[in-house]
Structure 1
């Protein structure tokens, strides 16, 4: 049976996986999402701080699944669990976003146009890694994700096959099988604040990467080492007018 693609009146559900986000960017991310999504589904990876309490304070959070044991070292299981949870609600469109990512303001004006059509089934965006603050992003041979597109938004198609690569680290946020569907690559930008903190915070992330992937099986050891670069190439971020 051919999937039904609604060209109008579609609802948007955001999905997030979170762990110990109390003192990071969670409130900013949820407040921003609260302005333009219809609801949210969250999987908490055994947080030990107030992360769950913060999530519960937002009216559009439909469900929070609380894991009792962390799956941080088995990321594909987290991504799969999050997909299973949101699919229970048979959403129209799913936005897969992390707890340290915020879209540029133009997205809020364009998102309903993107989901209320029947020509394509997924949308990709440009991801910028902010470094050492909110004013600059990093660009060099290891940090250039913004030069290609990342699929973050997809139409949910009941019965369509899905799979995630069984990797412990660097797992795609949406099923790889959805890439076979017609999609739309946009120039809309996403601000990733995961590296925008202090040098010590970046060093702790480096240690976590090395503990999960010490041989570079899921990533690139040179890329991991570049986290410690004392003089990275930074470019000033310029917010586009809407």
Structure 2
């Protein structure tokens, strides 16, 4: 499993430590396995300074594995840290890949494609959108096409009604097509509009690459294009992020 450590530092004021500036949520993956995912990173906090990302999947806190622990205990472990906190996260999450890889076309091909038919919710919950999921968008470099393009990652999944048998949608999957139209030329506003204008049922195509899935490619084994940031108009890690409910 691909892992990386992120170290956060915080200061003390008036006898108390400031918050690290992130919140986590518990998400159910395949086979009902529980994962802890970063839900929100507050601006101007140690979490933002240390580049903790919304959508990061946390597997250890200060070197201690958190699999199977209640979320309240994980939160206590984080809050109980003094001036520093080490979070071990999965480096294979889509947002992490967007920030460090320049061969995302290869990554998506390795992940394959799944087409799902979704039924619109009768009463969409706030934030979950018409079809019960939320994405964030990033504009990042595509080395194969030699341009910056939009990538749309499923961030949250609510009460999604999937009509297609034996198909699932998880946070961390990549949205690539909405009703037959590729989304790589759409910004977040365009994707939101495409979904809002869908009918009672809609087809979406995803790259099933969520870390919450049991079977997925080992992206670190893929050949990375030999290229430095000096060759790019902007650093490859400078992805422009847009979050929105769909």
Alignment TM-score > 0.5, same fold: no
More helix, by proportion: 1
TM-score of the superposition, structure 2-length normalised?
Answer: 0.30
More strand, by proportion: 2
